[in-house]
Amino acid sequence: MQKTQVAIVGASGYSGQELVRLLLGHPHVAISCFTSRQYAGKPVTDIFPKFRGLVDAAFVEPKIADIVASGAQAAFLALPHGVAAEYAVPLLEQGIKVLDLSADFRLKSAAVYKDFYEHDHPAPALLARAVYGLPELHRDAIKKADLIACAGCYPTSIILGVWPVLKQAKNIIVSSMSGVSGAGRKVSEEYIFPECNESARAYGIPKHRHLSEIEEQLGQTISFTPHLIPINRGIVSTIYIDAAVPDPLPVYREFYQNERFVRVTDALPDTKNVAMTNFCDISARFDKRTKRLVVVTAIDNLTKGAAGQAVQCLNLAFGYDETEGLL
C-alpha cells in the first residue's frame, strides 16, 4: 500500500522530534520533508542525534512550493502561534491537509484569540473551517476535516477529565504540573538546568492562554494554575469540581469504555506511566467532606498533548485505524 506522505513544518523543536519518533513507527505514513528555517541544509540527525541510523534527510527551508513538491498530502505545523496560520492558508489552497499543533485555529472567535494571545488573528476566515483536534470529543468532525487544530497539552489533560461530568460541573478549579519540555526547546535562563532542577513553581496565573480553548470547549469559566516541575515529559492535572458524583469511577469507566487512549484507573495517575505514550490516565475521588469531586489526569505533554494527538487526528482524517503508530 502506498504510504501517505506528510511534511513536518517546524521540525526542529520537541513536538517536531516527537512527531518524527512516532511517524518512524507508523506503517502507513512516510515523512516527505522536514522543514526548519534555523537548520535548513543540516542533516536532521545533527539536531536530533537520537535518530542517527533511522533518518537520512536534511532540513529544508519551509517553502510552500517545496513542501508541495515533496508530495506531501498532509502537513504537521509545529510552529509558534501566529506563524502557523501563515503556512496553513497556502497549504490548504494546495489541497494539503493541515494538522496544526499551535494554538492558531483552536478558537472559534478571533476576538477571544486576540484577548488571550495579544495580537490580531492572522487568518480569521479559517476559524470556522477548523476542527478542534481532540478525537474523544470531535471524532466525526476530524474525520472530515482538512484543517485540524490539535488540542493543547494542558487543555487535553483538563477537558478529558471534566467531560464525563460536564453537565453537573460547577466551580471548576484546576492545578496542573508540567515537565520542562512543555516550554518547547526554548533557550532562556529560566529553563537552564540549574534553574529548573530542584525547583517547583507556579507561573502564568491567573490568565494562561490555554484557558481560552479550555473554556470554549467546556462552556465555563474556570480557574487554572500551571506549575513547572523538573521532569522532561508529562502533565498531571488535578481538577476540583462541584459535582455530586459520589461514585465517580464507574461513571468515567462507562463514559470512556470505547476510547482506546483513555485509561480510567483505580490508582491515581502518574506521569511515568504515560510517558512516551498517547494515553490519558484518569482517576477520580469524591470527597464526602466537601462534596467536591477531585479528578486527576496524566498525559505526556509531547504525545497525547501534542504529536501523538496530531497523529491520532491524522489517522482519523486519512481513514486509518486510530491507533496506528501509537501503540
Whether the Cβ atoms of residue 95 and residue 144 lie closer than 8 Å to each other: no
Q: Judged by CB under 8 A, which of 3, 42, 63, 285 binds a copy of itself? A: 285
Nearer to a copy of itself, 68 or 178 (CB): 178
Q: How far is CA 14 from the centre of its chain?
A: 12
107 binds a copy of itself (CB under 8 A): no
Among residues 3, 200, 244, 246, which is the contact residue for a copy of itself, using CB under 8 A?
Answer: 200
In whole angstroms, the minimum distance from the beta carbon of 259 to a copy of itself comes to: 10
At its nearest, how many Å lie between a copy of itself and the CB of residue 34? 18
Q: Smaller CB distance to a copy of itself: residue 244 or 327?
A: 327
Does the protein bind a copy of itself through residue 117 (CB under 8 A)? no
Judged by CB, which is closer to a copy of itself: 191, or 318?
191
Parallel, antiparallel, or unpaired: how do β-strands 147-150 and 97-100 relate?
A: parallel
Question: Which of 61, 111, 168, 205 contacts a copy of itself by CB under 8 A?
Answer: 205
SS3 283: strand
Residue 316: other Cβ atoms inside 10 A: 23
Q: Is 153 a catalytic residue?
A: yes
Which residue out of 153, 196, 280, 313 is catalytically annotated?
153
* Plot region of 118 (φ>0 → left; ψ -120 to 50 → alpha; else → beta): left
Site residues (CB under 8 A) for a copy of itself, limited to 42-81 = 49-50, 52-54
End-to-end CA distance of the chain: 20
Could you give the angle at the alpha carbon of 38 between the alpha carbons of 82 and 314, nearest 5°?
A: 55
Site for a copy of itself in 155-184 (CB under 8 A): 171, 173, 175, 177, 179-181
C-alpha gyration radius of the chain: 19
**Residues tagged active-site:** 153
